[in-house]
Each structure stands twice: as C-alpha cells, then as structure tokens.
C-alpha cells in the first residue's frame, strides 16, 4: 500500500526564527535541538489586564500554551476553568488535535499566538457572564476523562 505524501513540518529552529522576526506579539524564548519555549504577553482588548503566556513546541508533538500570569484559577474564584486541557497550570484548549486545525506546516505566529489572545478574550467574557461563548468542544471535567483527553491532545 502506498503512503500518502505528507510534507515535513517546520522545525523548531524555523519556528523560533519566525517568532523572532515576524512576530507582532514580541516576546523572548529559548531554542534547543528540537524544541522551543517562547514567552510573550498580550491584552485581549484595550481594557483588559496583561497576560503572560508560555508557548512550548516540541517537534512531532502539538504545541501547548500555558498562561503564567495572572493566576487564572484565582481569577475564576474557585470555579473550574472552561475550555482548557489542564487546570494547573492552565493549558489552553486552542484547537482539536485530530481535526487538522493545527498542523506542523503552520507557523506558531499565525496560529498559537493569536488563538491564545482570542481565548483570553472569551475567558474575560466568561468571568463576567459565567458562560463560555468561544465555541469549540470542551475537554471533560472528570480526572479520568481529562487524562484520556490529554493523551489525545498529546498525539
């Protein structure tokens, strides 16, 4: 049986170079052999607080975005955070891994960075209304189902 052609994805070094040069979000990061970590800050609207995020990318795996400050769990006042892969640290659910919304040929600059800011916009609306209006499928709340969901998200 003949395998379908799948172009190689962008390497961590290529993604890192794009983040450094073609990134309106700014930030700073570290590059290792096949992975990168990028720290950046953003406000989802002119009246929003400033959020600091950490983007992790390992070749062959799905990228992850974690909000480092402010503490989203504290802002949520004891309620479970909506639309995340993990509550602590808050790992944002920005795409469904098996749908192809993100693939290794896409840049982190055009996907993860703006998607994370849009997620924060809906998060702030959720803080006010108690309703998640950002769409998408919601990861399960139970620990056993969360572990299953995380394994799907990890590839």
| pLDDT string in tens for the chain (155-residue length) | 655 555 579 999 999 999 999 888 889 999 998 999 999 999 999 999 999 999 999 998 999 999 999 999 999 999 999 999 999 999 999 998 888 889 999 999 999 999 999 999 999 999 999 999 998 876 555 555 455 544 544 44
Looking at residue 145, its pLDDT comes to 47
Whether residue 101 contacts residue 146, with contact meaning beta carbons closer than 8 Å, is answered with: no
pTM assigned to the model: 0.84
Looking at residue 53, its pLDDT comes to 97
Token code pair at residue 142: 């139970």
Looking at residue 149, its pLDDT comes to 47
Burial of 16 (0-12, 13-18, 19+ CB in 10 A): buried
d(CA 104, CA 83): 23
Whether residue 140 contacts residue 86, with contact meaning beta carbons closer than 8 Å, is answered with: no
Q: How many CB atoms lie within 10 A of CB 88?
A: 11
Looking at residue 140, its pLDDT comes to 57
In the chain, what are the domain boundaries? 12-153
């Amino acid at each position: 049986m003949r395998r379908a052609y799948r172009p190689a994805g962008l390497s961590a070094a290529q993604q890192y170079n794009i983040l450094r040069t073609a990134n309106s979000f700014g930030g700073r990061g570290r590059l290792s052999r096949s992975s990168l970590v990028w720290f950046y800050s953003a406000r989802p609207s002119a009246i929003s607080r400033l959020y600091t995020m950490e983007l992790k990318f390992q070749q062959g795996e799905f990228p992850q975005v974690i909000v480092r400050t402010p503490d989203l769990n504290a802002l949520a006042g004891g309620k479970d955070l909506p639309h995340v892969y993990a509550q602590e640290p808050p790992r944002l659910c920005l795409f469904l891994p098996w749908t192809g919304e993100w693939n290794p040929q896409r840049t982190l600059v055009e996907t993860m960075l703006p998607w994370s800011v849009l997620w924060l916009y809906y998060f702030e609306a959720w803080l006010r209304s108690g309703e998640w209006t950002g769409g998408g499928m919601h990861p399960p709340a139970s620990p056993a189902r969360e572990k299953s969901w995380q394994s799907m998200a990890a590839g």
